[in-house]
Chain A
């Protein structure tokens, strides 16, 4: 028995696919499916998070609609996947945030920005907010570095803790396999290259509209995000280890990393959104449009507000722009466990499980 209609439908499809197996060369989902004969909710959640939604199995399927078997694996697994985010949310009560996620992201971001604006106006000395500041330590006349580090450190630690709890629930949902270093290396490589967003080599769902470029845009987004994170980390080291205070000159490492990453974080998410709009709605979960587009826009906003701050940091607009940028980033941090961001977490773990299961199966075959 299954908890939802989507899980029930996923069970029906996996039973069909497991009797066919023509798609086993396309991605990791079908080989993982072949290691099972029955599909409980935990198995289906795992397979759903393993699915990258590339769409190749839909266009290749002889049983897709209008065939009476009506097989649409990407759409059904997208529904199961999005539902699974709720069941792994920590604390469980906050799964509500996934309900109207687009609105949640918007409201929280607006709230964070407002609090920074009010805070700067209220707590900084009169007129500081709209004054021109320049040179090292300019930002910290509005908010001390320690206060900033504490606030964002706490927010990030909370996000990590909440995601760790979600990861734990996901991992223990079914019996965890033993993990070898090779499995971990394989999973990291699968994530880093987005191996399974390639339809097994033919590319993602290629239709009359032309080639799907989600892998490229996702790379820009993912590596852009990592570079921005690296920029922040380097700046923190500069501050505490070298005693160098922000803002840094345009040629310095934090600004270079942040700028390169920031460009990726603008082109990537917008490209992903464009691909999503262009792609057939029949391949996804329409309910998740708010969640997906809100997260993508939040990433763009992080980058755009960062660039605005970089360009206007020596003008009177700096205070407002800093408040807006920090508000967006705080919102992003707080929402990591309750946004589309969790897809990376569960997919990474699913890939790790898949690597371990396949290795165990191979070894079993060799000793049998």
Chain B
């Protein structure tokens, strides 16, 4: 193994999609690259491990994509999900480069597959990794190693020396020792801070103790904090994170996709007081998937219960834990430790308000309640056929928005508005530049690959000069 004290052209911090695309692009640009990944080898890759597709613009259908997805349409979608909170220049740049990504990522050894099974709705816009995110990572790591990139696991950055926006060296903790690493350029691709509960509490208060973290426990935001403390410009709302409602029985970290629940629209959602608190049928599920984390976070003890009856059981994707089941509403309340009388009252009131209609969960159907607050605007059907089922849910945090400001070279912008001479950022740590709020499936991977490649290319160019 090479020693720590040699000089590298590029130090890449992180080990996910953005980091590896940066490392590969830098190595292809002629740079000597060191990648430091805080996680052990199995957990390498941060939340890329839990991804499965990437959103790329393309002018026509391919063997894995069902139709064209123009740059303009992609841009419109981005404006919709962010409510306009995006940097138009960077967004246009990313979308333009995403078109080339479809081929470039394959050249790095990653394979695409058509969307199958439950993901057909994304078959036109999103390209799926054969075997999912970990398969993608395995391919990228193999390519990086073949290109001579040095990779260190269990290697965490504990300090950075930065003077006037110029990166000098990094202190890396590895094997109970500290090593000073010097490199001509730094690429920060170390994700967000969603696994740092103490930091989440700054935005959410004590409620954050009841949050579940859907992905890697290694995204502590250490590097992000160091950079912001040392004069790098911040972007994105520090108090916000992407949160969905996931099974409350999931592990604290890394439960991944299998703890997801897609049944809100089929039933009602009640809180600890056994009362409804939001319109479960407001809009089609993929568009409302991401509001339920925040809604549940605002409820007592940050827990809620999705309740539905027998006919709904097989209408949504299965998930890891079986639903809690009872023959009567009273028994169900008992099993959930909710007040039985209140739950009976909530469900009776809901059932009485349901108007007749034709159920179709793929469109905004005419099954709705009348005279109920909050209303259920679509897909409202009486909950009356035993057995009755419930899933307990808690907020599941996917990613955070706060990051480092960058320019079109993926170069970090300092708080004083000047570009850094030799520091770049890619992936979740700078996603806030493009994604000020909201989310669209597969866009995190687009940000990672596109800005990773730009950062690697620019870093190699800088190191050569």
Contact = CB atoms under 8 A, between A and B. Distances in A.
Interface of A: 15-16, 18-26, 31, 34, 37, 56-57, 59-63, 66-69, 199-202
Contacts of A202: 111, 130-131, 135, 139
Interface string B355-399: 000000000000000000000000000000000000000000000
B50 A68 contact: no
Contacts of B198: none
B138 to A, nearest CB: 6
A19 B132 contact: no
Contact of B258 (A20, A26, A60, A200): A20
- Tell me what chain A mostly uses at the interface: helix, strand, loop, or mixed: loop
B4 to A, nearest CB: 23
B10 to A, nearest CB: 25
B34 to A, nearest CB: 20
B131 A19 contact: no
Interface in B233-282: 251, 254, 256-260
A62 B139 CA distance: 14
Contacts of B117: 21, 24, 31, 34
B317 interface: yes
17 contacts: A15-B318, A20-B257, A21-B117, A21-B118, A22-B52, A22-B131, A22-B133, A22-B257, A25-B114, A31-B117, A60-B134, A61-B134, A66-B42, A68-B254, A69-B258, A200-B113, A200-B131
Given A20-B258, A60-B132, A25 B318 contact: no
Given A24-B117, A31-B116, A67-B42, A16 B320 contact: yes
Contacts, number: 81
Interface string B66-107: 000000000000000000000000000000000000000000
Given A18-B318, A34-B117, A67-B42, A25 B258 contact: no
Interface in B158-211: none
Contact of A19 (B114, B119, B138, B319): B319
A18 B319 CA distance: 7
Contacts of B416: none
Contacts of A31: 116-117
Nearest to A67: B254
B314 interface: yes
Interface in B276-315: 314
Nearest to B116: A24
A57 B320 contact: no
Contacts of A199: 131
A25 B119 CA distance: 12
B49 to A, nearest CB: 4
B131 A60 contact: yes
Given A68-B251, A201-B111, A22 B318 contact: no
A202 B113 CA distance: 11
B218 interface: no
Contact of B132 (A16, A23, A68): A23
Nearest to A200: B130
B128 interface: yes
Nearest to A22: B132
Nearest to B322: A15
Contacts of A61: 134
Contacts of B131: 22-23, 25-26, 56-57, 60, 199-200, 202
Contacts of A57: 131
The 4 closest A-B pairs by CB, nearest first: A22-B132, A60-B131, A25-B113, A19-B258
Nearest to A68: B251
A227 to B, nearest CB: 34
Contacts of B256: 20, 62-63
Nearest to B42: A66
Nearest to B133: A62
Contacts of A21: 116-119
Nearest to B138: A59
B257 A19 contact: yes
Contacts of A25: 113-114, 116, 128, 130-131
A145 to B, nearest CB: 55
Contacts of B135: 56, 59-60, 202
A67 B134 CA distance: 13
A201 B251 CA distance: 33
B128 A19 contact: no
Interface in B128-153: 128, 130-135, 138-139
Contact of B138 (A15, A60, A200): A60
A352 B104 CA distance: 38
A56 B130 CA distance: 10
Contacts of B52: 22
Contacts of B257: 19-20, 22
Contacts of B258: 16, 19-20, 63, 69
